[in-house]
Amino acid sequence: MANLNIQHAKENTFDAIVIGSGMSGGWAAKELTEKGLKTLVLERGRAVDHLKDYPTTNLKPWEFEHRGTIPADIQKENPVVSRCYAFREDAQHFFVKDTEHPYVQDKPFDWIRGYQTGGKSLLWARQVQRWSDFDFEGPARDGFAVDWPIRYQDLAPWYSHVEKFVGVSGNRDGLPNLPDGEFLPAMELSAVEQYFKGFVAENYPGRDIIIGRCAHITGNAEYYAKQGRALCQHRVLCQRGCPFGGYFSSNSATLPWAMKTGNLTMQNNAVVHSILYDETKGRAKGVLVIDALTKETTEYYADLIFLNASALNTNLVLLNSTSSRFPNGLGNDNGLLGKYVAFHNYRAGVSAEYEGLQEYTTQGKRPNGGYIPRFRNVLRQETDFLRGYAAGFSGNRAILTDHSDVGENLENSLLNPQWGPWRVGSHMMGETIPKEASYVALDPHEKDAWGMPLLRVSVDYDQNDEAMIKDYIEQVSEMFDAAGFKNIRTRDDKRAPGLDIHEMGGVRMGHDPKTSLLNKWNQLHACQNVYVTDGACMTSTSTQNPSLTYMALAARAVDHAVKQG
Ligand SMILES: Cc1cc2nc3c(=O)[nH]c(=O)nc-3n(C[C@H](O)[C@H](O)[C@H](O)COP(=O)(O)OP(=O)(O)OC[C@H]3O[C@@H](n4cnc5c(N)ncnc54)[C@H](O)[C@@H]3O)c2cc1C
Ligand code: SF4
C-alpha cells in the first residue's frame, strides 16, 4: 500500500502547476514549459482544441436555428449572461450559463465567465493597451488603494515580449499616457473617425483619437506561421473561434506552443478545490482537485503554483485554501483577501449622426474600433472626481436600403444601396476606486454541485463613478456638438458592475504585507511559492483593457520564479 502511495504521488508530481488555462494561465504555461519545467495545467472546463472545437466558425447566418439570437426561454433562465453583448447563438457554448454555476449577489453583479480550455480568451474583444506611469502612480498620487510595487519600466520589456508573440495591430501614436508597443500594421480609421481625430487635435489639446490597438495579426506572416496562425481576414466572427488563428487566444497560440515543448500536461474537467499547505515546510505543496464529471478527488503536487483562475475565482480558491496556519484563506494574514475588488465603469455612451463627408463610404469589415485615451486628471487633478476614463469611438456609414417591396423593385433596391448619414458612437471605460467595502467572500452555507462554497459578491459604484459618468457625457457630447455632429443621444444604462468583464483585485500587489497580499513579483507575501498573475493581483484598475497587463505580469513572474530555482 505504501509503495502504491509513493507511486501515485510520483505520477502526480510536477515541477509546476497552473490553475486555469485562460488568458493569463496560457501565458504562465507557455513560459514555464519553454523554460523546461514539467507543467500541469488544471482547467475546470471541457477541452476546446483550436480549429477542431469551433462548431459555428464557418456557419452561414441562415444555418443558425435562431438566426443568431438566443431564444427567450434561455434568456429568461440566464438573465446575467444574457446581458453580455457577445452572448449570441454563434458563441453561446463558450459562456457559463447562470443556471450552471450560481453565485450570490449581495449587490447586483453581472459575472461573465467562460469555463473551458482558453477561458475567456476565446471571447474577448482583443483590445490591448499598455499602462503608463500615470496609471501605476495613480494610487500613490491620489491616495486611493495602496502604492503599486512596480512601475512602467518593470513591465515594459514584458509588454514587448508578450506583444511580439500575441501579434498586436496598432500605430505608434507617441502619447505619454499610452506607451507605444511592438506593433504590426495598424487598421484604418474611417473617414468620419479621421475627421473627428483632426478636429479634436486642433480644438482640444491633450485629447487624441487613435485606431484601437488589437490582438490581430496584420503582418509578419512568416513569424506567426510558426504558431500555426495566419493573417486576420477581417471576417469579424472572432467570438466563434477563428479558423485562421487571426486573433490571439490561449487555444490558438500559447497552449499549442506549450504543448510543442513536450513539457505540458493538460488536464480538463479538473476543478481546483484548494491549494494544499505544508505546515512543516511553510510552503504550498500542491492542490486538491475535484473531477468535474465523476466528482472524485485527487491531489497533485508541485513546488511552484501559478493561480490563474480569473480574478474572482482566484479569490475563491485562495479563500477556500484553509489550514491551521491560514484559517482564513491562504496568505490571508491581514484579513484583506477578497477585499478592494474593482472593475471598469462602462455605464455611459454617446451617439450621433454626421451629415458631412457624403463623398465617402465605408467598405468591408474591421474587427476593431477607434479609441480615445484617458484625458482627464492625467497631468494634474482638474475635476471633482479621482482618476479618469478612456472611451471607444467608432463611426460608420449605414446603408438604408428599402426592403419593403418585392420582385424587381426589391432586386433594384438591393443592387443600388442607399447610403444613410454617418453614425458615430462612443462608450466610456472608467476607472473605479478599489474600496475595502467592495469585496467577495465565501458563503458559509451554500455550496455548488462540486461541494465548493458559493462566492458572495458585494461590489458597487460610488459617488466618484457618478461624477465621472456625468463628466464623460458632458465632455463627449460637447466635442460631438462642436464637431458638427447632430442628433446627439446620451445614455446611462445603469448596468450592474461586472458586465465590463474587467473585474480585478481582492489579492492585490503592494510593498507592505500588512496592506497587500502579493509582493512585486506576484508571490503571496506569506507563501512565496504561490504566484497570482490574473486580474486578482491588480492594485488599481486604470482605464486600459486589462488582459495585456495580466499576460505581461504572468511572463515576468515565471521568469522570476525560474530564476529563484
Ligand atoms: C465579451 C468579452 C470581451 C472582452 N474584451 C476584452 C478586451 O477587449 N480587452 C481585454 O483586455 N479584455 C477583454 N475581456 C476580458 C478578458 O477576456 C479577460 O480579462 C481575460 O480572459 C482574463 O484572463 P484570466 O486568465 O484571468 O481568466 P480567463 O481567461 O477567464 O481564464 C480562467 C480559466 O480558469 C478556469 N477556472 C476557474 N476556476 C477554476 C478552478 N477552480 N479550477 C480550475 N480551473 C478554473 C476557467 O474555466 C477558465 O478557463 C473581454 C471578455 C469578454 C467575455
Ligand atoms: S476578424 Fe480576423 S481574427 Fe476575427 S474571425 Fe475574422 S479572420 Fe479571424
pLDDT digits (tens, 9 = 90+) for 84-111: 999 999 999 999 999 999 999 999 999 9
Cα separation, 344 vs 429, whole angstroms? 6
Cβ of 503 below 6 Å from ligand 1: no
Residue keyed to cell 465590463: 500
Cβ of 551 below 6 Å from ligand 1: no
Nearest CA to ligand 2 atom 4: 238
Cβ of 19 below 6 Å from ligand 1: yes
Cα separation, 497 vs 488, whole angstroms? 26
pLDDT attached to residue 402: 82
Q: What is the pLDDT of residues 51-60, one digit of tens each?
A: 999 999 999 9
pLDDT attached to residue 401: 80
SS3 (DSSP) at 237: coil
Radius of gyration of the chain (CA): 24
Closest ligand 2 atom to the C-alpha of 246? 3
SS3 (DSSP) at 470: helix
pLDDT attached to residue 1: 46
Q: Which ligand is nearest to the CA of 43?
A: 1
Closest ligand 1 atom to the C-alpha of 24? 25
Type of residue found at 212 = G
Cβ of 23 below 6 Å from ligand 1: yes
Closest ligand 1 atom to the C-alpha of 126? 8
Cβ of 119 below 6 Å from ligand 1: yes
Type of residue found at 24 = S
To the nearest 10 degrees (0 to 180), the angle between helices 547-564 and 152-166 is 110
3-state helix, strand, coil in the chain (%, to 5): 30, 25, 50
User: With 0-12 CB in 10 A as exposed, 13-18 as middle and 19+ as buried, what is 565?
Assistant: exposed
Cα separation, 216 vs 126, whole angstroms? 8
Nearest to 314 by CA among 341, 283, 279, 352: 341
CB 52 within 8 A of CB 237: no
Q: What is the mean pLDDT of residues 464-469?
A: 98
270 pLDDT exceeds 60? yes
Mutate to test the pocket of ligand 2, among 187, 235, 251, 368 (most ligand atoms within 8 A of CB): 235
Cβ of 164 below 6 Å from ligand 2: no
Tallying the residues shown for the chain, one arrives at 565
45 grid coordinates: 472546463
Residue 420 CA to ligand 1 centre (angstroms): 38
Phi, psi of 2 (to 5 degrees): -60, -40
Closest ligand 2 atom to the C-alpha of 216? 3
Cβ of 545 below 6 Å from ligand 1: yes
112 pLDDT exceeds 90? yes
Q: What is the pLDDT of residues 116-131, one digit of tens each?
A: 999 999 999 999 999 9
Type of residue found at 78 = N
404 grid coordinates: 419593403
Q: What is the pLDDT of residues 397-432, one digit of tens each?
A: 988 888 888 999 899 888 888 888 999 999 999 999
8 pLDDT exceeds 70? yes
Nearest CA to ligand 1 atom 4: 124
Q: Which helix (H) or strand (E) holds 197?
A: helix 191-203
Q: Which helix (H) or strand (E) holds 444?
A: strand 439-447
CB 430 within 8 A of CB 389: yes
Residue keyed to cell 500536461: 265
End-to-end CA distance of the chain: 33
Residue 418 CA to ligand 1 centre (angstroms): 41
Nearest to 55 by CA among 114, 122, 125, 112: 122
Cβ of 129 below 6 Å from ligand 1: no
pLDDT attached to residue 362: 84
Nearest to 147 by CA among 517, 549, 433, 510: 510
Cβ of 242 below 6 Å from ligand 2: yes
CB 210 within 8 A of CB 370: yes
Cβ of 535 below 6 Å from ligand 1: yes
Residue 242 CA to ligand 2 centre (angstroms): 6
Which residues does 344 contact at the CB level (< 8 Å), separation at least 6? 429, 430, 431, 432, 500, 502, 541, 543
Phi, psi of 306 (to 5 degrees): -105, 125
Cα separation, 439 vs 365, whole angstroms? 41
Residue 65 CA to ligand 2 centre (angstroms): 23
Q: What is the mean pLDDT of residues 208-225?
A: 98
SS3 (DSSP) at 130: coil
CA 305 to chain CA centroid, Å, is 21
Cβ of 26 below 6 Å from ligand 1: no
* Average pLDDT score over the chain: 96
523 pLDDT exceeds 80? yes
474 pLDDT exceeds 80? yes
Which residues does 70 contact at the CB level (< 8 Å), separation at least 6? 82, 87, 88, 89, 92
Residue 367 CA to ligand 2 centre (angstroms): 7
Cβ of 91 below 6 Å from ligand 2: no
Cα separation, 222 vs 410, whole angstroms? 46
Q: What is the largest CA-CA distance in the chain?
A: 84
pLDDT attached to residue 563: 96
Cβ of 552 below 6 Å from ligand 1: no
Q: What angle do CA 127, 131, 137 make, to 5 degrees?
A: 150
Phi, psi of 399 (to 5 degrees): -95, 125
Q: What is the mean pLDDT of residues 333-354?
A: 98
Q: What is the mean pLDDT of residues 185-195?
A: 97
Cα separation, 464 vs 357, whole angstroms? 38
Mutate to test the pocket of ligand 1, among 97, 501, 503, 507 (most ligand atoms within 8 A of CB): 501
CA 453 to chain CA centroid, Å, is 24
pLDDT attached to residue 3: 61
406 grid coordinates: 418585392
Other CB atoms within 10 Å distance of the CB of residue 403: 9
pLDDT attached to residue 404: 84
pLDDT attached to residue 7: 78
Cβ of 286 below 6 Å from ligand 2: no
Other CB atoms within 10 Å distance of the CB of residue 423: 17
Cβ of 246 below 6 Å from ligand 2: yes
